[in-house]
């Protein structure tokens, strides 16, 4: 789809209403991870370089349309100033005069959009109030693009609209992954439950050449083949669905890759006693907590045959050693292939970012999305309202 970038807009002397995601983790009033703030810096710098003034719209947490003081964006002003290298004028109201009064060269930050009951209802009146604060709308919050809210979807119809640098990078990466990818394409889908990723699996088998299934999800697929998975996390009521997915994949020319060996243990604890066994040899009183070395070797060989990788979810219980071994080894292999220019690698959603960071592989992936739900819905083939409104 066609959407404009900042480079196609005349920003000189304009107030640029910029929807950002600065919903950062905090503890005791201190920002503990500023990644999302760092991601908006290229957009802010571009707006200033073009002679514009960024007026930031953002949500924080879930105040559900009420003013909740501990969820005020006031708490992150100092971190914004530190990371962005500019002064920030914090504005609590939707009064255009307060925005206009901000010092020249400073960033304007409007209070939490979700303090307004009309935000999550995509209320046209609230969107119009937002629109009155600026001349141009720039959406840089891909992570909120799957929600049709007043500050994402509604506002885009009221002002000349474009994508910010972060949104632009996300959309280009996603287009490279599933829009017009270099083939063969491999997708890694891990995590606990098949039930949360049915739409994702159904969409991917039509679009990829290999589908690697890991984590607790793999147990459900193994059980669907009549394999006893002992006390492993497994959705036995979905084995029929897993069979259907395997049949559809076969018809679509998509090879599903399941672990041929597994690491089992008798307790879910760090450094618990464990054994590596064939996938059909899990003891009745044990549980599968990771993929084994033969499974990893197979996955790596698939990576080596592929040109594009999409990764969502870990291959095992990566939070505790030694059950992070498969995720770490596969992630490292993908990172090395990417570094060597042999693989385009896109990852995102849920635990994926922390798993790849833990593996020391994230920096070498082509693109890591911090978007969570929006990344997943895009992978599921769904239309994202915040993106569609920019077209």
User: pLDDT tens digit string along 133-154?
Assistant: 999 999 999 989 999 999 999 9
Q: Is the dihedral of CA 166, 167, 171, 174 positive or negative?
A: positive
Q: Has 319 been labeled as part of a binding site?
A: yes
DSSP string covering 133-180, please?
Answer: T-SEEEE--GGGTTS--IIIIIGGGTS-EEE-HHHHHHHHHHIIIIIS
Each residue of 69-103: pLDDT tens digit? 999 999 999 999 999 999 999 999 999 999 999 98
Q: Is the dihedral of CA 113, 116, 121, 127 positive or negative?
A: negative
Q: Has 312 been labeled as part of a binding site?
A: no
Q: Has 22 been labeled as part of a binding site?
A: yes
Q: What six digits make up the tokens of 388?
A: 């569609």
Q: In 3D, which of 124, 158, 160, 164 has the Cα closest to residue 144?
A: 164
Question: Is the Cβ–Cβ distance between 138 and 43 less than 8 Å?
Answer: yes
Q: Has 37 been labeled as part of a binding site?
A: no
Q: Has 65 been labeled as part of a binding site?
A: no
Distance CA 352, CA 311 (A): 8
CATH code, 181-380: 3.40.50.1260
Question: Is the Cβ–Cβ distance between 375 and 310 less than 8 Å?
Answer: no
The neighbour count for residue 258, using CB atoms within 10 Å, is 22
Distance CA 257, CA 32 (A): 37
Helix (H, G, I), strand (E, B) or coil at 199: helix
Q: Has 114 been labeled as part of a binding site?
A: yes
Q: In 3D, which of 390, 340, 385, 358 has the Cα closest to residue 145?
A: 385
Q: Do domains 6-166 and 181-380 have the same CATH topology?
A: yes
Question: Is the Cβ–Cβ distance between 282 and 261 less than 8 Å?
Answer: no
Report residue 42: phi and psi, to 5°. -60, -35
Distance CA 204, CA 132 (A): 42
Distance CA 212, CA 296 (A): 10
Tell me the Ramachandran region of residue 165: left when phi exceeds 0, alpha when psi lies from -120 to 50, beta otherwise: alpha
Q: Has 28 been labeled as part of a binding site?
A: no
Q: Has 183 been labeled as part of a binding site?
A: no
The neighbour count for residue 12, using CB atoms within 10 Å, is 8
Q: Does domain 6-166 have CATH number 2.130.10.10?
A: no
Residues in the chain, overall count = 391
81-87 CB contacts, 8 Å cutoff, 24+ apart: 83/34, 83/37, 83/38, 83/41, 84/37, 84/40, 84/41, 84/44, 86/44, 86/48
Q: Has 236 been labeled as part of a binding site?
A: no
* Domain spans of the chain, in order of start: 6-166, 181-380
H/E element, 187: strand 185-189
The neighbour count for residue 85, using CB atoms within 10 Å, is 10
Q: Has 60 been labeled as part of a binding site?
A: yes
Q: What six digits make up the tokens of 386?
A: 């915040």
Q: What is the value of pTM for the model shown?
A: 0.84
Distance CA 91, CA 98 (A): 7
Catalytic residues: 36, 193, 350, 373
Q: What six digits make up the tokens of 328?
A: 């770490």
Q: Has 45 been labeled as part of a binding site?
A: no
Q: What is the pLDDT along the chain (391 residues), one digit of tens a residue?
A: 578 999 999 999 999 999 999 999 999 889 998 989 999 999 999 999 999 999 999 999 999 999 999 999 999 999 999 999 999 999 999 999 999 999 889 999 999 999 999 999 999 999 999 999 999 999 999 989 999 999 999 999 999 999 999 999 888 888 888 788 999 999 999 988 889 898 899 999 999 999 999 999 999 999 999 999 999 999 999 999 999 999 999 999 999 999 999 999 999 999 999 999 999 999 999 999 999 999 999 999 999 999 999 999 999 999 999 999 999 999 999 999 999 999 999 998 768 888 898 999 999 999 998 787 888 888 888 888 998 898 7
| Helices assigned H by DSSP within the chain | 35-49, 77-84, 96-100, 124-131, 165-174, 198-204, 215-224, 239-252, 293-305, 325-339, 352-358, 373-379, 385-388
Each residue of 116-139: pLDDT tens digit? 999 999 999 999 999 999 999 999
Return the pLDDT at 350.
66
Helix (H, G, I), strand (E, B) or coil at 314: coil
Q: Has 23 been labeled as part of a binding site?
A: yes
Q: Which residue carries 């720039």 as its tokens?
A: 138
Distance CA 115, CA 314 (A): 35
- Distances 346 to 49, 103, 180, 227, 280 between C-alpha atoms, Å: 30, 40, 14, 32, 32
Return the pLDDT at 1.
59
């Amino acid at each position: 789809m066609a959407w404009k970038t900042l480079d196609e807009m005349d920003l000189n002397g304009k107030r640029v209403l910029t929807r950002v995601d600065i919903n950062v983790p905090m503890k005791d009033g201190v920002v503990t991870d500023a990644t999302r703030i760092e991601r908006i810096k290229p957009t802010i710098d571009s707006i200033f370089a073009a002679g514009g003034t960024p007026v930031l719209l953002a949500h924080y947490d879930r105040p559900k349309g009420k003013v909740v003081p501990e969820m005020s964006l006031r708490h992150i002003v100092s971190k914004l100033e530190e990371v962005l290298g500019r002064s920030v004028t914090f504005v609590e109201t939707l009064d255009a005069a307060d925005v206009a009064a901000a010092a020249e060269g400073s960033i304007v930050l409007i209070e939490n959009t979700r303090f307004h009951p009309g935000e999550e209802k995509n209320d046209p009146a609230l969107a119009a109030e937002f629109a009155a604060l600026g001349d141009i709308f720039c959406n840089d919050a891909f992570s909120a693009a799957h929600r049709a809210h007043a500050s994402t979807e509604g506002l885009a119809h009221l002002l000349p609209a474009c994508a910010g640098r972060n949104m632009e990078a996300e959309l280009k990466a996603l287009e490279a992954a599933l829009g017009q990818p270099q083939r063969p394409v491999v997708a890694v889908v891990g995590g606990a439950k098949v039930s949360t990723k049915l739409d994702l699996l159904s969409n991917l088998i039509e679009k990829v050449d290999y589908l690697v299934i890991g984590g607790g999800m793999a147990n459900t697929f193994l059980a669907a083949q009549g394999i006893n998975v002992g006390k492993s996390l497994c959705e036995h009521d979905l084995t029929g669905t897993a069979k259907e997915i395997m049949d559809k994949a076969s018809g679509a020319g998509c090879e599903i890759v399941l672990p041929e060996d597994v690491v089992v243990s008798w307790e879910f604890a760090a450094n618990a006693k464990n054994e590596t066994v064939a996938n059909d040899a899990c003891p009745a009183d044990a549980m599968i907590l990771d993929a084994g070395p033969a499974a990893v070797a197979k996955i790596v060989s698939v990576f080596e045959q592929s040109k594009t990788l999409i990764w969502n979810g870990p291959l095992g219980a990566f939070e505790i050693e030694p059950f992070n071994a498969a995720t770490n080894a596969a992630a490292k292999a993908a990172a090395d292939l990417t570094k060597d220019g042999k693989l385009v690698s896109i990852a995102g959603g849920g635990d994926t970012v922390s798993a790849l960071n833990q593996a020391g592989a994230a920096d070498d992936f082509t693109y890591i999305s911090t978007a969570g739900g929006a990344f997943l819905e895009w992978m599921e083939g769904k239309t994202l309202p915040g993106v569609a409104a920019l077209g």
